[in-house]
Amino acid sequence: MHVHVLGIAGTFMGGLAAIAKAAGHRVTGSDLDVYPPMSTQLEALGIRFVRGYGPEQLDPAPDVIVVGNALSRGMPVVEAMLDRGLPYVSGPQWLREHVLQGRHVLAVAGTHGKTTTSSLLAWILEHAGLAPGFLIGGVPGNFPVSARLGAAPYFVIEADEYDTAFFDKRAKFVHYAPRTAILNNLEYDHADIYPDVAAIRRQFNQLLRTVPASGRLIVNGADAELRAVLDAGCWTPVERFGPQDGDTEWRALPERTPAADGSAFAVLHRGERVAVVRSPLLGEHNAMNALAAIAAAAHVGVAPQAAADAIGAFRGVRRRLELRGTVGGVAVYDDFAHHPTAIEATVRALRGNAAGGRLVAVLEARSNTMKLGVHRAQLAAALADADRAWFYTPPTLGWDLRGAVAALGARAGFASGVDELAAAVAADARPGDRILVMSNGGFGGLHDKLLAALAARERGA
């Protein structure tokens, strides 16, 4: 079958293309921009792609067109597809019909932590010799790819609540029919799609309607919105996870460590100590991600201590508190955080691992929700633990970022250009600083520009 993927450069659609290729299909695709690492991954797999959405890419006509959710009516390729009556399907639906059918799907849903938890879970199953398939919205350090077909029966998928396609406005995760589902948390996000948190809650309840009674839900027991989702209807056994003082089946009891950074904890299951985790990941939020992955792996027969051993060998995920480089005693980290809750958790995690220097946060308000200014009132509080906070303020932002973070006072700095921002942050940096760059995009190459500016300063010293 010839499968043509529209929007092939995204992590989900690019992963789907890789899986389709592994399943024996001929795969082509297109996107507006295709760049590393996805371009190199596609080229290595022998997947031909073109730039742009012109109608000529449909000649000769493929057997099926898989349409990404970035595509919309009015795009030439979409109009040609509809005019010619060519067969098309959304990415999630194609995945369910051609890959997930008949497999034990382990889905990871939630506003935060999906990529890290999915990567942890896939690695735990791999470490246990189960050779799972997976599709993850990031680049896990333990695998050379973000997606693979794997061996039956297990398949781990990052289950996103974003909408499916221009012709299917349901959340993507309702297509996956998981047997094991992790619900990490639920907050208001995706303001370009959902009017309020109640609308997202309804999508989560739709997900619950697809999980069989013989399956299992692994649910954050401390999350009030998830409790509301369960109260609206649940037909599957539930196991809750949480910190040491919660009334949950799975608990994390912090071990006494010098840093107290969430990287070492005992796992309690129904009050019994079943494992000890020594994790390379920092922060309580990552301890919860690891605990959820351990609980989900237990549902498919992986002993908690075996899962904990796998976590000890976990190599992290690109762009999740990833150290990009150290110059002149200044460490530059990259993180995907873009929601106030994630920003606060990431700052706190790095603060908990403090080595004596300042913590300098650098933020791009890039997500659709951030661009709309929905969370602006929470930004200053989310960055309260940072010693210094720098903000990118492009003229197109559309709301008063300076006013929104006025409570930070002299700790806040602003720049309207990426080059200007890199120069200002580098000039302000001191040996021992940890600079945390947060954005859900490439941030105009700020990380490399910042490291280059620091190196230039060192050479001139």
Could you give the CA distance from residue 273 to residue 180 in angstroms, rounded to a whole number? 23
pLDDT tens, 166-191?
999 999 999 999 999 999 999 888 87
| 2-89 belongs to CATH 3.40.50.720 | yes
Give the contacts of 301 (CB within 8 A, at least 6 positions apart): none
pLDDT tens, 85-136?
999 999 999 999 999 999 999 999 999 889 999 999 999 999 999 999 999 9
pLDDT recorded at residue 260: 56
pLDDT tens, 362-373?
989 888 778 788
Sketch the domain layout of the chain as residue ranges.
Answer: 2-89, 102-312, 322-460
pLDDT recorded at residue 261: 67
Please give the structure tokens belonging to residue 411: 């700790």
Q: What percent of the chain has pLDDT over 90?
A: 62
* Extended beta strands in 137-271, E state: 147-148, 154-158, 163-165, 168-171, 180-183, 216-220, 238-243, 250-254, 264-269
Give me Rg for the CA atoms of the chain: 22
pTM value is 0.87
Average pLDDT, the chain: 91
Could you give the CA distance from residue 368 to residue 338 in angstroms, rounded to a whole number? 10
Alpha helices in 10-132 (DSSP H): 11-22, 38-44, 76-83, 91-95, 114-127
Q: What is the mean pLDDT of residues 213-224?
A: 96
Q: What is the mean pLDDT of residues 3-18?
A: 94
Assigned architecture for domain 102-312: 3-Layer(aba) Sandwich (3.40)
Q: What is the mean pLDDT of residues 375-383?
A: 87
CATH of 322-460, picked from 3.40.50.1820, 3.30.470.20, 3.90.190.20, 3.90.180.10, is 3.90.190.20
Could you give the CA distance from residue 224 to residue 198 in angstroms, rounded to a whole number? 12
DSSP state of 317: B
pLDDT tens, 317-347?
877 778 888 998 898 989 887 788 888 888 8
**DSSP per position, 37-70:** THHHHHHHTT-EEEES--GGGGSSPPSEEEEPTT
Could you give the CA distance from residue 151 to residue 95 in angstroms, rounded to a whole number? 15
pLDDT band at residue 64, thresholds of 50, 70 and 90? very high
Q: What is the mean pLDDT of residues 223-239?
A: 96
